Amino acid sequence: MQYLFIILISFLFSKHNEFDGNLKSYLENNLNNYDKYEYAIISSPQELSSYKIDFSQPFRMNRNIAYVPLKTKNSSDTFVDKYLVLRLRLFKEVLVANEDVKAREPLSPDEFTKKLADVTTVIGTPLNIDYNLTTVRSKSFIRKGMVLRRENVEPLPEIFSGNYITALVVKGNVIVKVDAQSKQDGAKGDIISIVTQDRKLFKAKVLNKKEVLIVE
């Protein structure tokens, strides 16, 4: 009797380890853009041992809640409308601000530290740790301790508001150049407002530090 009890315990332990291993594989396949994750089961069907993970079904995640699709261990091996529900903590190597940074300030690598941080509740897209910060400036105020996101930065302007520039006007095969002044900051490719010497307003595309192309 004791021998049978040991076999039963061993069988249940083996099944548990098998499910945990499959769950780990499923999560690693679907969370491979994170450097680390933690999870806690918050809801599961009764007799979980009678189910297995359905790798063919799409992974669903809403903020920090993940839904792992299950299927029954029967001959049909079909998906059933049941899920293992997990609460996640997601970690990623990111850039974290060492100090407050005002809006529209050129960024320096010295202002940020690479850290493995919990990004579960971060809204937006954290910048890659190898991003070249010398090519961008802050788009909005960045608070000390904040994870740097793509939404926080914008390209450094080629032209600044108030700069005197040359505006190009294309008329057929002829290019006419007129003197103008920028009314906005603009990176290469941006559409900005300009004013010509005769006080006419136009929209123009930034070509480089000194020239724009009037588009309307």
* CATH code: domain of residue 208: 2.30.30.760
Question: Looking at residue 146, which CATH number applies to its domain?
Answer: 3.90.1210.10
Number of domains in the chain: 3
Q: State the pTM of this model.
A: 0.70
Q: Which one is predicted more confidently, 77 or 60?
A: 60
Domain co-membership, 95 together with 126: yes
pLDDT band per the 50, 70, 90 thresholds, residue 77 = low
Place of tokens 């261990």: 73
Over residues 84-105, mean pLDDT: 94
Place of tokens 């493995």: 116
Domain co-membership, 105 together with 32: no
Domain co-membership, 146 together with 184: no
Domain co-membership, 45 together with 85: yes
pLDDT (0 to 100) of residue 216: 78
Confidence check: pLDDT of 45 > 70: yes
Domain co-membership, 45 together with 125: no
pLDDT band per the 50, 70, 90 thresholds, residue 50 = confident
Confidence check: pLDDT of 49 > 80: no
pLDDT (0 to 100) of residue 73: 66
Domain co-membership, 31 together with 17: yes
Over residues 108-127, mean pLDDT: 93
Domain boundaries, position 24: 2-90
Domain co-membership, 138 together with 174: no
pLDDT band per the 50, 70, 90 thresholds, residue 7 = very low
Domain finish residue from 123, 155, 187? 155
pLDDT (0 to 100) of residue 76: 57
Domain co-membership, 16 together with 96: no
Domain co-membership, 85 together with 100: no
